[in-house]
Amino acid sequence: MYKKLLSNISSYIHLSEEEKIELETLFLLKRIKKNEFFLKEGEVANSVGFINSGLFRYYLNEDGEIKTFAFSKENEYISNHESFLTKTPSTKSIQALEDSEILVISREGLKKFYEEFNEGEKFGRKIMEGLFIYYLQELTSFYSHSPEQRYLKILEQQPELIQRISQYHIASYLGIKPQSLSRIRSRLA
């Protein structure tokens, strides 16, 4: 159950055997069914999850219009970092698109990890740097690439996601209507 998590963390920092054992006490298993939420708009994010299996989407509701802005899958972390870091209600929701199994660490557990593990703070810095770069690239792509170019990028970099995510959610992520995505797919076929 903890193998993927330990492997992921070990790809960033060195963990002693004692730290590996301690980590298993800080992360708790949580199963989330398809369409259930890891975090709902209005809740404060008090934990971070590591996805053992499953798929999630991040979205916001702007006056009744649902806008998907990210997806997270196996071997990735999920949380609304803005809400988590500021301890304010989330303006976004994180919903399971598949039955999922995640390992969750509380705010207090993460604080312990950062403060008491030899390279805990280094791990946190590396994760946040990676998220910062990812979201800058996504923002730049949204404004500098067409929906078709962004769709081609998904096909090239994460083709398995196209099979796992509904056309409706992909269209929302691209900022277009499902009919427009159908036209893009027809042109590319």
Residue 143 CB neighbour total at 10 angstroms: 6
Q: Which residue has the tokens 């934990």?
A: 47
State residue 142's pLDDT score.
86
C-alpha dihedral (69, 73, 76, 82), degrees to nearest 10 = 30
Segments of the chain scoring below 70 in pLDDT? none
Per-residue pLDDT, 189: 80
**The pair of three-digit structure tokens given for residue 116, joined into one six-digit string:** 């008491």
- Specify the pLDDT at position 1: 87
Residues in the chain: 189
| Angle of the 3-10 helix axis to the 17-26 helix axis, nearest 10 | 120
What are the two backbone dihedrals, phi and then psi, of residue 177, each rounded to the nearest 5 degrees? -85, 155
Q: What is the largest CA-CA distance in the chain?
A: 55
Rounded to an integer, what is the distance from CA 189 to the centroid of its chain? 30
**Which residue is it, tokens 């996601």?**
161
Q: What digits encode the pLDDT tens for the residues 103-137?
A: 999 999 999 999 999 999 999 999 999 999 988 99
